[in-house]
Structure 1
């Protein structure tokens, strides 16, 4: 009976030892199997986050950036006069330390210097690298409309109620100094013209309006044909068109302004 009780206990202990040994060796076997079956054996390790800066520095694109900067220097240097007054240099030829804590609309002196390759002189005639420039404290988009040029749109209607606006790209004139970006976006009213004269349209409306000549001149062919075949709406349509063209309510069909 004692032997029969001892044998089951011994078998139970061996099974327990076997399970523990299998659990301990299983992770090791998985690691070995995964390494042998992986595709990165014999290949270079992937770049890590710390290795990226060195790859960018040694990239062949770095010399291209240097050549681009030298081209930019040559482009602005060719536009900048040499030997002139520093205060008269275009804004693209100088670098200024603009401070935005100045009083709006008041003249403020800023410290500036000429860009590389640009030579200028002061009021005394001596060559200077650093100089002081007096600028009105205002951002570029706050300048007077005469101090910048904006793109014009021909896709909007100028004769509309309410008046239509468009997004214009504006560039400050070369010799105008201001704070902020010299290229900005602005919402402007449509103000383009197709070459139609208000005086010509009015004269045609008074003299030949009964035959639709005024509408034909403005590019409104359907209205012109309607007036032609109705004899100017028995004179009523002709009279109304004279008044509408006189006050500028009826304009060119392309939506442009009179000249």
Structure 2
């Protein structure tokens, strides 16, 4: 019995050892599962990989600024003729040392230099950066009306005595050279039209003036009703309106000029 008990006890101890080993392996596997999940997840991506899009977005405004600068340079260069005569350049293409001590209305010569990205030549074809420029001594606001453009007003009365004026914003044409500010204010006479014809108003006044047709046509409906119900003021008002419209004293109600 003793001899048989020894091997059986050894087998039991061996079985217990194996079971204990299996339990330990199972416990280790349970502990390592979170580690495997972390290693296989996207969170293990290095920081320098995640920073690449941010670096690209930081460089985008700089590229946009360079693009805007190139566009502005291109548009600026397109206003100035390339390799043309320096004396024919517009004022926006050059910088001149002007002086207001010159004699008004007389020719004067100033020293000018071309701006960046502008290339011009003299009459012999030689490139120039600094050159003398000859112009007429006059301020921009003293130019003739054909050399500047002004804003128009549709709120002032053109047919009135005395004639009305309005404060217009004016700017010199691109190819015109002058002294002082190229944008200025100027008081101009009201000079706009609403589409009314003087010939039509006069014809209505002669033929149908007794019914107020001329006043209705000009937009003066109160006077038109007065003439209609008074039969043209018994003819007196009709004759007066023929004279007033004929000389241009009576005009459209909106204050515009005849066509």
Is the Cα–Cα contact under 8 Å of residues 160 and 249 in structure 2 kept in the other structure?
A: no
1:94 paired with 2:85, answer no
Provide closer, same or farther for how the CA distance between residues 178 and 253 of structure 1 changes in structure 2, counting only shifts above 3 A. Answer: same
User: How far is the alpha carbon of 1:161 from its aligned partner?
Assistant: 2.5
User: Which has the larger share of helix?
Assistant: 2
Quick check: 1:138 aligned with 2:138? yes
For residue 68 of structure 1, report the CA deviation from its aligned partner: 7.9
Q: TM-score, normalised by structure 1?
A: 0.71
Q: In 2 relative to 1, CA 65–191 (structure 1 residues): closer, same or farther, beyond 3 Å?
A: farther
Q: Which residue of the partner structure matches residue 212 of structure 2? A: 212
Whole-Å separation in 1 of the counterparts to 2:84 and 2:211: 65
The residue aligned with 1:157 is: 157
Shift of the alpha carbon at 1:203?
1.2
Do residues 231 (structure 1) and 231 (structure 2) align? Answer: yes
Q: How does 1:159-198 map to 2 (within 5 A)?
A: 159-198=159-198
Distance (whole Å) between structure 2 residues aligned to residue 110 and residue 172 of structure 1: 20
Q: Measure the CA separation in 2 of the matches of 1:73 and 1:159.
A: 48
Instruction: Tell me the equivalent position of 2:126.
Output: 126
Shift, 1:125, TM fit: 2.0
Could you list the runs of 5+ residues in structure 1 that have no partner in the other structure?
1-63
Structure 1 position 73, deviation (Å): 4.1
Are the counterparts in 1 of residues 119 and 127 from structure 2 also a CA contact under 8 Å? yes
Q: Whole-Å Cα distance in 1 between the matches of residues 217 and 243 of structure 2? A: 17
Structure 2-normalised TM-score? 0.71
Are the aligned partners of 1:73 and 1:116 in contact in 2 as well (CA < 8 Å)? no
Kept in 2: contact 1:211–1:232 (CA 8 A): yes
Give the Cα separation in 1 of the matches to 2:146 and 2:72.
Answer: 28
Partner Cα separation in structure 2 for residue 193 and residue 221 of structure 1: 19
8 Å CA contact 1:201–1:214 kept in 2: the answer is: yes
Displacement of 1:72? 5.0
Change in CA separation of 1:184 and 1:68 when aligned onto 2, cut-off 3 Å: farther
Deviation sequence 1:137-176 (CA, Å, 0-9, x none): 1110111111111111111111222222111110111111
Distance change in 2, residues 1:206/1:154 (3 Å): same
Helix, strand or coil at the partner of 1:108: strand
Give the distance between the partners of 1:72 and 1:134, measured in 2 at CA.
29
Structure 2: gaps of 5 or more residues: 1-63
Partner of 2:15: none
Cα drift, residue 208 of structure 1: 1.4
Largest Rg, 1 or 2: 2
